């Protein structure tokens, strides 16, 4: 049975101030002395709601006052506010007419956990990957300028996203593209305060006055009239030099942006005052805001990594239910560490996801052989290629949805040069609650056409350990492994791992009237399908494919000799995926047996629980069995 918005976690009455905000005018009309109380109500709503739905708690707790100030100064949807990565847009949703629906966030048919243009006109740009807001916002500003409009474009970018190449590329083009653009640097590391202390505070306070902004422009104009343009330029250089002495981030000025800050990101009135000044200033600007991730909820403030993206938890102490089985990510971290204990050439790389990929396990044991390059997947792939040229064995662990950014490097750098980089794609398949930005449903189609690349997927966590050992022995070309999000099948990890025969499938049951050829975690589904069909008098063979490339065509042909139907099963889109690979191979071999491909449709799959999504798209064992019976009839 599918879940509707009415089936989502229960809606509790909104607190009074938040309940009274229906439009931008309601927020703008709120007395300033009420804003701290509003911020508290928003935090309580976030903490209470996400305890039931899960979500990105810590980032949003840190952005409450900034979000309030932005919506009091600017007016969406006329003004465009973009969030990078956009998982910190929950307060934005609460303040733009969606507070009554907030209890449905990340639930099936409910609000998205990210900005989504089709959800609301206030969501100027939808994204779930880092490094998008600056360039997209700059494109909007350029379009505005061409049309002769005058609205504001504000990109809110976290400090972590500044390690992303696209952010730096966009930053390089701001001054030459537009004269009106506001970049908010949301810095939750507080490095500026520690570095410059009182001087920084003094300078930021000075900048937060209309007098300073007016005096700076007026003085330059007077000097130019009295002594000419060159004199004005010399004075500007002196001002810039003085600014450089007390502002470590002065390189923004070199790129043509006026720098404002740092400013306390939890002082709504001060933020509002500064944003009004910046909105009237000439030229593109960057506002440096210092925030505290997890602010207002002790468990999140003390452990912001855990509460960055979290499932259900107890409000009282932030505790979460214990997992019933080892996750694939943890199996990966443990197994790779076990291999590395015996092989000093193994090194591990992540792109700002040590905990998510569980490379934190590896880091603890082998800190010198562990590299976190930040949100820079392309660099991570090239960095791994460089390591491989020197005889090391790099394992790059990245979520499948983010590995998409590495496709050029996998093809042009790793495969073309036969460099043995090991690409480990976590969260391959469905990423239910996060939705289309995070589903890892496209990696097979992107990678299987690349020459000189081996691609595999294990059926369970124990086989994952053996596949990592297999990859460790592949030293003549790049290899890739994909494995799903969440708990495995509940199997113990092997104490010793042996490489699997390269390109060889595993026959779990000999062929019958129907041959099920399953990839990865779909083997558990195939086993249940086989039971259902057996009860209908249909004999089924079952193959665990293990490898997409090279495909074990020989075993498939042998086991399908008596079959009326070959059924492929994959946790991937059906277009260009594993089933297509099997279909192509059988056609080349001259096999005329009918092939039924089971997988996700070639569309962007919405967010919701795995149970609901599989039911909707006919990917439960019962639905697959019915499809097979219909095809045989």
Which pairing describes strands 370-372 and 514-518: parallel, antiparallel, or unpaired? unpaired
- With both helix axes pointing from N to C terminus, report the angle between 268-280 and 35-53 in degrees, rounded to the nearest 10: 100
**Residue 377 falls in the annotated catalytic set:** yes
Which of 72, 80, 116, 293 is an active site residue? 293
Pair 633, 565: CB distance under 8 Å? no
For residue 496, what are the CA distances in angstroms to 336, 461, 525? 12, 14, 28
Residue 598 near residue 630 (C-beta atoms within 8 A): no
Q: Is the dihedral of CA 38, 43, 49, 53 positive or negative?
A: positive
Cα distance between residue 593 and residue 405, in whole Å: 37
State how far the Cα of 292 lies from the Cα of 216, in Å rounded to an integer. 32
Which of 41, 65, 213, 377 is an active site residue? 377
Give the closest residue to 411 by CA, choosing from 441, 389, 378, 374. 378
Q: Which of 72, 405, 422, 614 is catalytic?
A: 405
Q: 5, 131, 114: which is closest to 438 by C-alpha?
A: 114
Distance CA 322, CA 329 (A): 15
Phi/psi class of residue 546: alpha, beta or left (left: φ > 0; alpha: ψ in -120 to 50)? Answer: left
Q: How far is CA 245 from CA 201, 215, 239, 288, 479, in A?
A: 14, 21, 10, 17, 49
Residues with Cβ within 8 Å of residue 73, at least 6 apart in sequence = 272, 275, 276, 279
Q: Which residue has the tokens 């193959």?
A: 543
Give the sheet arrangement for strand 547-549, strand by strand: 370-372, 346-350, 393-399, 422-426, 479-482, 454-456, 547-549
Helix axis angle, 461-472 to 328-342, nearest 10°: 40
Bridge partners of 183, per DSSP, are 155, 286
Would you state the structure tokens that stand for residue 322, as one six-digit string?
A: 């214990």
Pairing of strands 153-158, 80-84: parallel
> Which residues does 511 contact at the CB level (< 8 Å), separation at least 6?
541, 558, 559, 560, 561, 562, 563
Pairing of strands 153-158, 182-187: parallel
Residue 207: CB atoms within 10 A of its CB come to 21
Report residue 262 as tokens.
Answer: 């740092």
Cβ atoms of 330 and 356 within 8 Å: the answer is no
Residue 293 annotated in active site: yes
Per the annotation, the verdict on 405 as an active-site residue is yes
Which residues have a catalytic role annotated?
Answer: 293, 377, 405
């Amino acid at each position: 049975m599918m879940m509707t918005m009415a089936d989502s976690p229960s809606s509790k009455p909104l607190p009074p101030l938040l309940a009274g905000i229906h439009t931008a005018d309601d927020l703008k009309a709120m007395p300033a002395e009420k804003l701290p109380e509003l911020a508290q109500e928003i935090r309580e709503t976030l903490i209470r709601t996400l305890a039931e739905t899960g979500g990105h708690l810590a980032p949003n707790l840190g952005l409450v006052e900034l979000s309030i100030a932005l919506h009091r100064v600017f007016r969406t949807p006329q003004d465009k506010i973009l969030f990078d990565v956009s998982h910190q847009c929950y307060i934005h949703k609460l303040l733009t007419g969606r507070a009554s629906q907030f209890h449905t966030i990340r639930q099936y048919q409910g609000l998205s956990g990210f900005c989504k243009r089709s959800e609301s006109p206030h969501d100027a740009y939808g994204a779930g990957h880092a490094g998008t807001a600056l360039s997209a916002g700059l494109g909007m500003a350029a379009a505005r300028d061409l049309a002769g409009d005058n609205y504001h474009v504000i990109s809110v970018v976290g400090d972590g996203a500044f390690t992303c190449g696209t952010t730096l590329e966009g930053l390089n083009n701001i001054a030459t593209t537009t004269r009106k653009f506001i970049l908010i640097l949301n810095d939750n590391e507080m490095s500026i305060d520690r570095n410059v202390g009182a001087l920084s505070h003094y300078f930021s306070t000075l900048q937060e006055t209309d007098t300073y902004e007016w005096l700076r422009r007026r003085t330059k104009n007077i000097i130019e009239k009295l002594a000419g343009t060159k004199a004005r330029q010399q004075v500007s250089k002196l001002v810039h030099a003085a600014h450089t002495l007390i502002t470590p981030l002065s390189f923004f000025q070199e790129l043509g942006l006026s720098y404002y800050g740092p400013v306390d990101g939890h002082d709504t009135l001060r933020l509002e005052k500064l944003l009004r000044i910046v909105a009237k200033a000439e030229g593109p600007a960057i506002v440096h805001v210092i925030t505290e991730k997890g602010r207002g909820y002790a468990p999140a403030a003390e452990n912001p990594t855990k509460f960055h993206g979290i499932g259900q938890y107890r409000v009282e102490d932030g505790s979460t239910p214990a997992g019933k089985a080892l996750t694939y990510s943890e199996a990966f971290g443990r197994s790779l560490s076990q291999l590395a204990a015996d092989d000093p050439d193994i090194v591990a790389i992540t792109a700002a996801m040590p905990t998510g990929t569980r490379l934190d396990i590896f880091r603890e044991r082998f800190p010198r052989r562990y590299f976190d390059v930040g949100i820079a997947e392309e660099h991570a792939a090239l960095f791994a290629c460089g390591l491989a040229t020197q005889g090391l064995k790099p394992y790059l662990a990245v979520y499948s949805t983010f590995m998409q950014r590495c496709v050029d490097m996998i093809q042009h750098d790793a495969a073309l040069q036969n460099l043995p980089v090991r690409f480990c794609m976590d969260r391959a398949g469905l990423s239910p609650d996060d939705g289309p930005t995070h589903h890892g449903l496209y990696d097979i189609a992107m990678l299987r056409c690349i020459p000189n690349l081996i691609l595999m997927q294990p059926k369970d966590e124990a086989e994952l350990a053996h596949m990592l050992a297999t990859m460790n022995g592949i030293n003549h070309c790049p290899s890739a492994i994909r494995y799903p999000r969440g708990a495995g099948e509940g199997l113990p990890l092997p104490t010793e791992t042996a490489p699997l025969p390269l390109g060889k499938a595993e026959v779990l049951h000999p062929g019958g009237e129907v041959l099920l050829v399953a990839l990865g975690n779909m083997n558990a589904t195939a086993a249940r399908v086989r039971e259902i069909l057996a009860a209908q008098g249909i004999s089924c063979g079952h193959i665990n494919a293990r490898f997409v490339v090279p495909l074990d065509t020989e075993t498939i042909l042998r086991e399908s000799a008596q079959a009326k139907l070959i059924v492929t099963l994959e946790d991937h889109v059906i277009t260009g995926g594993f089933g297509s690979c099997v279909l192509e191979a059988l056609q080349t071999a001259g096999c005329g047996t009918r092939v039924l491909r089971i997988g996700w449709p070639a569309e962007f799959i919405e967010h919701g629980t795995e149970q609901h999504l599989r039911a909707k798209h006919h990917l439960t064992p019962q639905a697959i069995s019915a499809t097979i019976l219909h095809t045989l009839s």
